[in-house]
Structure 1
Amino acid sequence: MTFRPVYRFGCLLLGWLRLPARSCAARDVEILVLRHLVAVLQCSSGKPVFTGGDRAVLAVLLRLLGKRRRSALKLLVTPRTVLRRHASLVVKEWTCPHRRPGRPAKPGALRALVLRLARENDGWGYRRIHGELLNLGWKVAASAVWEIVQRAGVDPAPRRADRSWARFLKAQAAGIWATDVFHVDTVFLRRLFVLCFIEHDTRRVHIAGVTRSVTADRATQCARNLLMSLDGTRTAGIRYLIRDNAGYVTEGFDAVGASVGARVVPILPGVPGMNAIAERRVGSCRREATDRVLITGERHLRLVLDEYAGHHNGHRPHRSLGQRCPDRIGAPAPPAADGPSRILRRDRLGGLIHEYAQVA
């Protein structure tokens, strides 16, 4: 037991005695190799990982050492490691690139379009979406459409249908008009009455008349003048006309609505919520226009209401229309602002209302 440590100490001592006989270059190369191995160990947490630069440096340094010195060093790199690296290079050079089995993936634009059609049309199945894609110029199989909607987790058409009250009422809004009368007090404490109409589906407002006293004959004549001034295609689509039970409403007023094929629907007494859309529009007109201006007379009120109606129909966004204005429901969306752009402001009602537009 005591001989083995003595023997190992003797071998180590003979190795130290041989160091002066070696050249300085060989010692420097061996030190550089060992230092580089230590650096690799310090950079690695666990198994040593050699980069391409590490392999190149070790290859050059080991080439400068003799065969006996290379075999005497305890290196992290073995001949088996070099052979394995060479084999991987050969495989990478001559092996064909791996290709996933099956059909190629569908374009991202096609997937986005299929999901958009399914989202915007809750009653469409994959066959109906497939037909719409063919009309749009996409040559795709119906099975591909089915695969896209299945992977996205989209339910079949009957389960996806929206049966909420909001969706139901919005579908019935086409062809429904409402009328209401509201008053405005002038600066001289005289009361003026305004007869207005509003379309439920587009939220477009029409000012029928401004009068000092609302009577049955005056209201009937204002309604008749408005319907005669509109396009026949617009008035032909009126199916229902909602009105209140005020004293100015007589059989003559109902006859004007019936002349365009509309069914006049009076609200119940004491239930203004049955004409909620018209009441909401009157409140907006008061808050944004008439309550902020001192009205001097009938002509002045007519100018203010016409200016506000132009703003309401041509620029003011509405949540029920997807933040679009009534006159731009079918117009294309404005260009996206992806950076600094010039914004033009237009003032209405003497600067009480501002309208902004993007200048190209």
Structure 2
Amino acid sequence: MNSVKHVSASHVMVLYTGGTIGMQASENGLAPASGFEARMAAQLTAQPNVHVPQWTFREMSPLIDSANMTPAYWQRLREAVVDAVDIAGCDGVLVLHGTDTLAYSAAAMSFQLSGLHAPVVFTGSMLPAGVPDSDAWENVNGALQALGSGLAPGVHLYFHGELLEPTRCAKIRSFGRNPFAALNRARGGKVASALPAALDYRQPRDLVNVAVLPLFPGIGAAQLDGLIDSGVQGLVLECFGNGTGPSDNADFLASLQRARQQGVVVVAITQCHEGGVELDVYEAGSRLRSVGVLSGGGMTREAAFGKLHALLGTGLDGDEVRRWVELDICGELR
């Protein structure tokens, strides 16, 4: 098979959001710190054999531990990427991000930046730059070199020499140099011939309220009602196996039906590390479908959460949102 040749990035915008990679000691422990641009430049100057594209640096505000990441911050990040590409003329973007929610942000940006004609790479580190055995510079320099070698337009996740699809991976361990992995999730989703104009990366997005609810033995309508009554517009329902839930609980099913009637978009994904959802295989799954639950196929939690934010934030009507949930947009289903 012939590999597709992509244009090498010659001018990269580096967006620094904080995270472990740039943290320094404080009286309360490691905390995000300014000054990373100078540290990054100094380590590259000290390694003349490391060739990377020209780069410009922008420090996002506020700098955060990625445990404090929010969808509102995603909106600012999306605007920063669009400014870098469409206004500053950069042909690549590198986002430096804490690892705890990096997979969430990279997946969300995959949907928020649909149609972008430049590559965007997310990376971070498990240890701060400058400490013994840190993985910071290998990830920063490797991500810059990947952009310089040519990547497809869209969002990528780079860590420890590996490029991953953000909508197909997750952080699976809290230690070591390889915290992220591609999940063996089901594939085969249908792809539409063209995306609606509302999903184009240039279009603004509204902030929306999306939640995630994992099912557990004994879950009842009260927990579901609490989320519905909180004003959620979308809900990722983490089901058992290939899409089953407490189908003999009439109150639980009635709550799901009420969510549908109130316009809440409920998407079922699997709690399993591998596989996906097929709601019509078991009666316990088909009853969920009958009260309006949509199939998330093999989507990861991060992909389903980011997709609902993107779709609901476009202003598309409810039926269109529901239709697009089960269609592939950027590799999350196929």
Bucket of the pairwise TM-score, normalised by the shorter protein? under 0.3
Which protein is richer in strand relative to its size? 2
The two structures have a TM-score, normalised by structure 2, of 0.22
Which protein is richer in helix relative to its size? 1
Higher relative contact order, structure no. (Cα contacts within 8 Å, ≥ 6 residues apart): 2
